[in-house]
Chains A and B, each alone.
Chain A
């Protein structure tokens, strides 16, 4: 205790006394960051809740214009990416260098696939004139007086999925950084904290989608079974 400062290493930065304390801090820091993310998305979910309460029928009809099958497929892709992320963390715990790289690449591929499919879905919306704020906006099956309300649904759809996609892009950037570090051999069974906390972030983004999918795609599906 008397020896106040020590030389800095990756797994023991100068401000910490022990490696456990450092890992503990990093993990707690990421959890707190995820709380801020919950509040961040929370504002959007609040807006969604209020407008769905205002216009329940319009939301139900607008929801059916989204392709639930593609949405479900994408949900599976994302869950799969979470699985490969867990495996990357596990490989980190065991200090298996090649396995870390492999699992991270797979995670990146699934994440990219999700974004690709999302892009196709967005493109479809442009083709179908379901873009809010544009003069030619028209949602089939709704009277003219309700078209504005449908625009609100699609504003929320684009804002929420857009914000989610942005988080995916940030996550992909993080994965690429982890990948480069892993190839340099930075991580070992002693020091794999970045993979661990990176995994927490990745799962969080996944969970956001788990909420978005039913709220946006499945509002009125149960009536059609």
Chain B
């Protein structure tokens, strides 16, 4: 083990606030994102806490209906636009994508820093709106309510999302150019780690989808401020057009949230079963397939919005189609485990959690893609449970898997394994206790977005609230022990997991320009013979 304490790396190369706020280093920018999204995660979590407390009893006793509307809206906006969308790409992608392809940095470091400032600026608008009284339209901003009747801070919130959108677009642009033009010698497309493929596919959605959300917000803005009539039925405008434009982005946005997570899972599953990912090319292309198909299914959000039966049929069919690349991933991860040398470190526990929960989330998505069942469960807690299984059970599990997996590389310290395993268990139990009852509630007919409900639904709601408390503990624990480990954690070597990626071939934490010399890649991804060779040398 190298113990040269004075070795210069990206954390100790310079000090002071200015060296962080003006940094062009993708690793530092990744950490800036980490602080920002963690803040929004806890803001969104605070709203969720209030929602679950209100739903503890059937009567609307803790908050009024109007306040409740604002709570669930702001919970979604904080979590979706300011936590989930930037989470894995902007933190882990930013930090590791250039290292994994052997580059010194992203192609446009200054644009990368600008992206972070845009997220902060957008976040500031959203935060202002939240403090000033919030917005009650739901995160979907459906017209004509949002343009004509809502009396909350629609414009400030929408502007915040608009600005944050450009952060997302520029990150995607940066990743695409970097992957195309900055790969190290020998790093061919089919030697790239699957995390890079997943982020590349995500970037495609970010650059193609986000601008449509931006223009939709522009139309919302002019409609609300100048009353132009574009979505006003009284003048022949069509509110459903807004829904089409909105979901053209916002359905693919689901894949912006989950695809990078799938990339993390591929890395973790391979590392902790000591095997190359089964069917590498299929897993790589399934990311791109999900990105492409994701643009063709937005109409399944409009099954009950005057969409023609024929369009409904087509969108239903295409929605089923997305299940194929998703299933390819799940089956290939499972096949990777087969006869693997499996070990159960924390990242692997989270990865197992991801596979199980994402599968439930995905399969219930098929229920919703079926025209008949969808009409029964539309706008019920079934939908709420479904997308929380995908986003919380999927994305956040994957984010935590990635955070634990790469924490030694980011900080040069190990987190405490025992505590981390315990937190993974608590998160898993708490999550299921929170959201599984909601499937049943939804199927029984409890509608979403109401602050009161009939008394017969109380037992399941109490279970759900209890689960949320457990989940909160599970999320707070990593905060504590990650911080603790910065000072007291065991010093990590360059490759504590015996993993294969280029990020494990450089020191922990990495030097400012990632490598001491440009790596030359001679092997496929996940070739464990390269790791064993090193181990023999060390011993």
CB distance from B241 to the nearest CB of A (A): 6
A5→B212 contact, CB < 8 A: no
Roughly how many angstroms separate A25 CA and B106 CA in the complex, as a whole number? 10
A28→B177 contact, CB < 8 A: yes
Roughly how many angstroms separate A37 CA and B169 CA in the complex, as a whole number? 11
16 additional A-B residue pairs with CB within 8 Å, beyond A4-B104, A15-B107: A24-B181, A25-B107, A28-B180, A29-B174, A33-B173, A35-B207, A36-B208, A40-B214, A42-B212, A44-B215, A51-B236, A132-B227, A158-B222, A159-B218, A159-B228, A159-B230
CB distance from B21 to the nearest CB of A (A): 19
From B173, B234, B245, residue with most partner A Cβ within 10 Å: B173
- A40-B214, A50-B241 are contacts. A159–B104 as well, Cβ < 8 Å? no
A35→B518 contact, CB < 8 A: no
A43→B517 contact, CB < 8 A: no
B230→A152 contact, CB < 8 A: yes
For chain A, residues 21 to 51, give those with C-beta under 8 angstroms from any C-beta of chain B.
Answer: 21, 24-25, 28-29, 32-33, 35-37, 39-44, 46-47, 50-51
CB distance from A219 to the nearest CB of B (A): 17
B84 contacts the other chain (Cβ, under 8 Å)? no
The chain B residue with its CB closest to the CB of A166 is B218
Interface string of A41-68 (1 = CB under 8 A from B): 1111011001100110000000000000
Residues of A that sit less than 8 Å from B by CB = 1-5, 13-17, 21, 24-25, 28-29, 32-33, 35-37, 39-44, 46-47, 50-51, 54-55, 132-133, 148-149, 151-152, 154-156, 158-159, 163
A148→B236 contact, CB < 8 A: yes
For chain B, residues 204 to 228, give those with C-beta under 8 angstroms from any C-beta of chain A.
Answer: 207-212, 214-216, 218-219, 222, 226-228
For chain B, residues 241 to 299, give those with C-beta under 8 angstroms from any C-beta of chain A.
Answer: 241, 245, 248
A43→B234 contact, CB < 8 A: no
B518→A1 contact, CB < 8 A: yes
Chain A positions within 8 Å of B177 at CB level: 25, 28-29, 32
The chain A residue with its CB closest to the CB of B185 is A1
A14→B230 contact, CB < 8 A: no
- A25-B107, A40-B211 are contacts. A159–B219 as well, Cβ < 8 Å? yes
Chain B positions within 8 Å of A133 at CB level: 226-229
CB distance from A174 to the nearest CB of B (A): 15
CB distance from A56 to the nearest CB of B (A): 13
B345 contacts the other chain (Cβ, under 8 Å)? no
Roughly how many angstroms separate A170 CA and B216 CA in the complex, as a whole number? 20
Pairs across A and B, CB under 8 Å, 7 listed: A14-B104, A29-B173, A32-B177, A44-B215, A152-B236, A159-B228, A163-B215
Chain B positions within 8 Å of A149 at CB level: 235-236
Partner of A36, one of B106, B107, B211, B234: B211
Chain B positions within 8 Å of A17 at CB level: 518
B235→A148 contact, CB < 8 A: yes
From A2, A24, A40, A50, residue with most partner B Cβ within 10 Å: A40
- A44-B215, A132-B228 are contacts. A15–B181 as well, Cβ < 8 Å? no
A2→B207 contact, CB < 8 A: no
B229→A148 contact, CB < 8 A: yes
Roughly how many angstroms separate A128 CA and B241 CA in the complex, as a whole number? 29
From B182, B208, B216, B237, residue with most partner A Cβ within 10 Å: B237
B517→A4 contact, CB < 8 A: yes
Roughly how many angstroms separate A4 CA and B184 CA in the complex, as a whole number? 12
Roughly how many angstroms separate A133 CA and B237 CA in the complex, as a whole number? 12
Interface string of B473-513 (1 = CB under 8 A from A): 00000000000000000000000000000000000000001
- A28-B177, A50-B241 are contacts. A155–B182 as well, Cβ < 8 Å? no
Chain A positions within 8 Å of B237 at CB level: 51, 152
Chain B positions within 8 Å of A2 at CB level: 517-518
B230→A32 contact, CB < 8 A: no
The chain B residue with its CB closest to the CB of A159 is B222
A54→B212 contact, CB < 8 A: no
Roughly how many angstroms separate A21 CA and B107 CA in the complex, as a whole number? 10
